[in-house]
Amino acid sequence: MRGFVSWRNLPAVISLAVIVVVVAAAALAPWLAPYGPLDQDIAQRLRGFSADHWLGTDQFGRDILSRLMWGARAELTIALGATAIALVIGTLIGLLSGYLRGVVEWLGMRSMDLVLAFPPLILALLVVALRGPGTGTLIVVLGVLFIPNFARVTYSQVLSVRGADYVDASRMLGATSFRTLFRVVLPNSAAPVLAQISLTMAAVILLESGLSFLGLGVVPPEPSWGSMVADAQRYMVTDPGFIAISSATVLVTILAFSLAADSLRDLLDPRRAITGRKA
């Protein structure tokens, strides 16, 4: 850990700090937000920075800071829910496909290829348009879209691990296939899967923001970052600060999760760590 907190890993430290701030803002929004996310004050609409509204107000006089904090709850709820679905199902498919091989491998990985054949945004637009927008729909749709990511990462790791000596030793000692799979193979394949979690969080936030921007995400007037960007772009000439703040929030959060994934991969992969020390 001492080596992790260094100038070389400064981006990782900054990204972790950003993630902590976003999570804290989302978790503590009911107590920290100065106003309710739906509170309107038309007389104060499109006001800039002030003592009463630190980040200004939107076109309905709603406090932008409060809506960003409550919007973080929606973004993280969807991102965590979708990532959990993708993690559990994708890891299981990749684990079984890589370890059992044969028909299981063919069915598992070909089904993942089928999902990957469709552009994620187009498929998400289609399903959400048919089912209607909403948090529950987004969690399921985005979760399914990212199952192949975890399946392919796990599958490649299991293929490199299944022939290792410690796996053969587990079998020779009489361990069942189930025990070998989940107590030996899975823990030794977990490092890139853990890094994939952070990458998927970033990708889900990006897709959800895009869908909300198009009006197919979180249902208004509930706050979400994508819908806030959509509202702000209508006033970008008269109130550029509104869109700058909304867009920067999405951008910085996605960048933080992406950098955290890279840093976590380096931290958990001893080969990368050795290469970094030699450099």
Per-residue pLDDT of 172-195, as tens digits, reads 877 777 788 888 888 888 888 988
Residue 221, pLDDT score: 83
Please report which confidence band the pLDDT of residue 7 belongs to, taking 50, 70 and 90 as the band edges. low
How far is Cα 57 from Cα 223, in angstroms, rounded to an integer?
Answer: 13
Q: Over the stretch 164-174, which tens digit does the pLDDT of each residue have?
A: 777 878 778 77
Q: Over the stretch 49-79, which tens digit does the pLDDT of each residue have?
A: 888 889 989 989 999 999 999 999 999 999 9
How far is Cα 209 from Cα 7, in angstroms, rounded to an integer?
Answer: 32
End-to-end CA distance of the chain: 19
Give me the residue spans of the domains in the chain.
10-36+55-278
Q: Over the stretch 119-160, which tens digit does the pLDDT of each residue have?
A: 887 888 888 878 878 888 899 999 999 999 999 999 999 988
Reported pTM? 0.88
Please report which confidence band the pLDDT of residue 274 belongs to, taking 50, 70 and 90 as the band edges. very low
Residue 29, pLDDT score: 93
10-36+55-278 classified as CATH 1.10.3720.10? yes
Residue 209 structure tokens: 């923001």
Handedness of CA 49, 53, 55, 56 (dihedral sign): negative
